[in-house]
Amino acid sequence: MSNESGSRATRHNKPTGTKKKKPQKKKKTFGSVFLKILLGFVFAGCLLFLGGVGLFWSYASNAPELDEKRLESANSSKLFAQNGEVFQEIGTEKRETITATEIPKLLEDAIVSVEDRRFYQHIGVDPIRIVGSALSNAKTGGIQGGSTLTQQLIKLSFFSTAASDQTLKRKAQEAWMAVQLEKEKSKQEILTYYINKVYMSNGLYGMQTASKAFYDKTLDELTLAETALIAGLPNAPSYFDPYANPENAKERRDIVLFTMKDNGKITDKEYQEAINTPIDAGLKKLNSGSNTWKYYDNYIKEVIDEVERKTGVNVYTDGVEIHTNIDLEAQRRLYDIVNTDQYIAYPDGQMQVAATLIDTETGKVTAQIGGRNIEEGAMLGENLATNTRRDLGSTVKPITDYGPAFEFEKFSTAKTIVDEPYNYKGTNIPVMNWDNRYMGTMTLRQALVESRNVPAAKLFEEVGADNVADFLGRLNIRYEVIEQANSISSNTSVQDGTKYGISSLKLAAAYAAFANGGTYYEPQYVNKIVFEDGSEEVEAFKTTGKKAMEETTAYMITDILKGVITSGTGSNAMINGLYQAGKTGTSNYSKEDIARINSPYTVVPDSSFAGYTKAYSLAVWTGYKDQKTPIVGDNTSIASDVYRELMQFVSASVVNSDWEMPKGLSRIGNELYFEGQYVKPVAPSKPKETTTKTSSTESSTTVESTQSSESSTSSSQSTEKPVVPPVESSSEAPIVPPTTPPTVPPTSSSVVPPVEEIPPVEETPPTT
């Protein structure tokens, strides 16, 4: 048994050849894993915190030094003319300040309630406000700010408000400086700086200044509703301007009142009475306070818009130098031409004028005016020179019809086209000429010089709407949907601000491309801005020209438009000895409007003239703000009067030179052909007197006409007895009573009205 047991034991203890099992590792618990992750985050957080502190200190150490003069200054911006002269300063003359002891309790409660409720508790920055703003923005998707009043003061005094300057570095420096300021100044002193410094709209700085300008009261004399409006303005002065945006102003005022009630500063009864007060209650008429501002108001408006659009800089709060392209002498002369009777005899004080002068080689806007007899004291009012609501008439023909025809179809100026009864494509609506006549076969040159509507509409159809839109697009002119009626009119039912349609600004820039040989430059009012630290912003205002058309196209249009002034509808713009080209344009009334006006003379709602030399392009519109008030009789020539007076003035100081014909064109007689295009007519083998006349007549109907055939056509037309236009005809009619037959060539151009307003043809007029 023992042996058996031993053998069993031996067998039991004997290695069997299998590997020994390794001891099992302890399983990691969730708690230990979580602890390690947490420690990792803490470690990373510490590193980030230390890195953040180091970065913050690096930024803060480079912050500007606190300067009491900058805390007190009005942050005015200086506007420089092209000759380096300061012609306007925004913010210096319009500021009245108060002391810390003069702050009304009501105003203090309003500002603190709406801007910084914890103003008297924080040390310059408010972590609670910052976290609250961050949570609110995350929840609502808004952009509520976390800046304290002290930080706002620092930003206004030492930094730009441009969006591009809202950097982490700037924020860090702003916070650091706010803390330092709180150590040096009392809360009342900081509040006083803020009240005296903030921009309040309409070129006004400081709440006391705004109080006197708006209500003719000091701050301590204001009612609760008036105080709330004043306190709420600095948040967005232009947007909450009670004069320009009364609805926005009321909304902001009522928010201020609500925060005051919520903060326990006013009762519910006071709140209800104040919010029911009309926003314009007590408002006084504003005065610009500058005798020279009126010369530049429209120009300054565009300067401010361009600076903000291209850089985000706030002209009113950032204290920058703005170098503009204005020619002071030209601007002042334009103002005097438009606003005095020294140069032009205006029919009344209500007629309006809009004009834009552009340097053809750069696109710089050197002078502009957007209204006439503007109310005294008005600031940054409507600029009619940039709006696209009115009709520029036949001034569109070179850019909409003839330019595209030469560019895409390579027509010669001698190509003939028939002025005959013709309907807009796909309709039974006729295209009418100013005299309700048709002149038969004529060259493209003659058709444009005499501003015939039918040939223009035909060219539009032949070139095609897509090509026309392409050509106009290169000149930054667009219509939401371009129609054949736009061949002779800039009317469009959709403007989308100024995106669609044509203004004097857009037209002057487009014509400048003809003047310089085919290059389009975006119009620009500003060439650079200089910040308080001496740095400059130039790149944002650089403009490089883009090729808009072939040089041959530009020259052909110019060659024809020279004839518009020397022998066509634009003769009133003639300036002896000056090489220039131009085009007239007028719009129409409907038959119903003409019947309502009931005048024996020609009446139109709009009259325009656009022209150019090699140096300048100038577009002028005239009319009344109420479109139903007509321009009567020979007052349609006032647009070309304005053009002539200003162009003569500015051209006296530049070289007067003619355009040179570019390669690729040939001149045969008076007409221009693309090289290789002209085919010399074959003379008859046995010419006879009768056949010569027949040949001359027939040659006027060939596709490429010679100068002699054009002369023959003109001669035959000159024997036709003029037909008296009916009263309802468009404005290209001569300015004479309808009982007197016209005896001279027309002096203005015409545009047919919108399609539905075109008068039907009762009977076919005579043709030549």
- Answer yes or no: are the C-beta atoms of 206 and 97 closer than 8 Å: yes
d(Cα 54, Cα 40) in Å, to the nearest integer? 21
Indicate the range of 369-383, 459-473, 495-509, 640-654 predicted with least confidence.
Answer: 369-383
Please name the residues in contact with 454: beta carbons below 8 A apart, sequence gap of 6 or more: 419, 420, 422, 431, 433, 438
Could you tell me the pLDDT band of residue 728, with boundaries at 50, 70 and 90?
Answer: very low
Which of 420, 426, 422 lies closest to 439 in space, CA to CA?
A: 420
pLDDT at site 368: 98
Dihedral sign (CA 549, 403, 496, 363): positive
3-class state of residue 60 by DSSP:
helix
d(CA 216, CA 209): 9
CA pair distance 234, 230, nearest whole angstrom: 8
| pLDDT the model gives residue 24 | 56
Catalytic residue among 76, 211, 394, 487: 394
When pLDDT is averaged across residues 5-17 and rounded to a whole number, the result is 47
User: One of 108, 115, 306, 671 is an active-site residue; which one?
Assistant: 115
Judged against a pLDDT cut of 50, whether residue 235 lies above it is answered with yes
Lowest mean pLDDT among 139-148, 277-286, 339-348, 556-565: 139-148
Run of H or E including 355: strand 352-359
Q: How many angstroms separate the Cα of 156 from the Cα of each of 71, 120, 199, 227, 641?
A: 8, 20, 9, 22, 47
List the single range of 17-31, 308-322, 538-552 with lowest mean pLDDT.
17-31
Q: Do domains 94-275 and 324-660+721-768 have the same CATH topology?
A: no
Residue 442: phi, psi to the nearest 5?
A: -150, 165
Instruction: Give one DSSP letter per residue of 218-282, joined into a string.
Output: -GGG--HHHHHHHHHGGGSTTTT-TTT-HHHHHHHHHHHHHHHHHTTSS-HHHHHHHHTS-TTTT
Q: What is the mean pLDDT of the segment spanning 89-95?
A: 70
- Residue 220 pLDDT grade (very low, low, confident, very high; cuts 50, 70, 90): very high
87 by DSSP, 3-state: which?
strand
For 541, phi then psi, to 5°, come to -105, 5
Asked whether the predicted pLDDT for residue 729 surpasses 60, the reply is no
Q: What secondary structure letter does DSSP report for 579?
A: -
- Give the pair of three-digit tokens for residue 303: 């300067």
- How far is residue 722's CA from residue 724's CA, in Å, rounded to a whole number? 6
Q: Is 442 helix (H, G, I), strand (E, B) or coil?
A: strand
Helix (H, G, I), strand (E, B) or coil at 612: strand
Residue 252 is predicted with a pLDDT of 97
The one-letter code for the residue type at 210 is A
pLDDT digits (tens, 9 = 90+) for 575-609: 999 999 999 999 999 889 999 999 999 999 999 99
Decide if 293 contacts 88 (C-beta within 8 A).
yes
**How far apart are alpha carbons 63 and 94 in whole angstroms?**
30
CA distance 43 to 58: 22
- Cα 401 from Cα 419, distance rounded (Å): 15
What is the C-alpha separation between 635 and 211, in angstroms, rounded? 45
pLDDT tier at 528 (50, 70, 90 boundaries)? very high
* Known catalytic residue at 102: no
- What DSSP character marks residue 584? E
Give me the pLDDT at residue 262, please: 95
Q: What is the DSSP letter of 726?
A: P
- pLDDT value of residue 366: 98
Instruction: Provide the 10 A C-beta neighbour count for residue 495.
Output: 15
pLDDT of amino acid 766:
33
In the structure encoding, which two tokens stand for residue 169, read together?
């570095």
- The pLDDT, as a whole number, for residue 229 is 98
Lowest mean pLDDT among 149-153, 269-273, 542-546, 764-768: 764-768
Q: Where are the domains of the chain?
A: 94-275, 324-660+721-768
10 Å Cβ neighbour count for 701? 13
- Distance between CA atoms of 695 and 708, rounded to whole angstroms? 11
Predicted model pTM:
0.73
Provide the token pair at 426: 């796909």
Which helix (H) or strand (E) covers residue 468, if one does? helix 465-474
Lowest mean pLDDT among 120-129, 270-279, 386-395, 465-474: 120-129
> CA dihedral defined by 343, 348, 352, 354, rounded to 10 degrees?
-10
- The whole-number pLDDT of residue 611 equals 98
DSSP-derived 3-state class of residue 699: helix
Q: Judge whether 115 counts as a catalytic residue.
A: yes
CATH 1.10.580.10 fits 94-275, yes or no: no
Q: What is the pLDDT of residue 72?
A: 81
Instruction: Give the span between the Cα atoms of 372 and 355, in whole angstroms.
Output: 11
Q: Which of 61-75, 238-252, 521-535 has the lowest mean pLDDT?
A: 61-75
Distance CA 576, CA 734 (A): 23
For residue 1, pLDDT beyond 60: no
The single-letter DSSP state of residue 635 is G
Q: Which residues contact 254 (CB under 8 A, 6 or more apart)?
A: 228, 275
- Residue range 644-700, pLDDT digits in tens: 999 999 999 999 999 999 999 999 999 999 998 887 766 555 544 433 333 333 333
* DSSP calls for 655-686: ---PPPPPTTEEEETTEEEETT---PPPPPSS
User: How far, in Å, CA of 313 to CA of 701, rounded?
Assistant: 61
Q: From 3.40.50.1970, 3.65.10.10, 3.40.710.10, 3.40.50.300, which CATH number describes the 324-660+721-768 domain?
A: 3.40.710.10
- Show the tokens assigned to 196: 């005296």
What sign does the dihedral 409-411-416-420 (CA atoms) show?
A: positive
Give the tokens for residue 726.
Answer: 């009916």
For residues 681 and 712, the answer to whether their CB atoms sit within 8 Å is no
First vs last C-alpha separation in the chain: 149
Task: List, for residues 439-467, the tens digit of each pLDDT value.
Answer: 999 999 999 999 999 999 999 999 999 99
State the Cα–Cα distance between residues 89 and 481, nearest whole angstrom: 43
Q: Residue 735's CB: how many other CB atoms inside 10 A?
A: 17
CA-nearest of 355, 393, 356, 370 to 604 is: 393
The dihedral region occupied by 124, where left means phi > 0, alpha psi between -120 and 50, and beta the remainder, is left
Residue 196 pLDDT greater than 70, yes or no:
yes
Contact between 230 and 215 (Cβ < 8 Å): no
Give the pLDDT score at 762.
35
Q: Give me the percent of the chain exceeding a pLDDT of 90.
A: 63
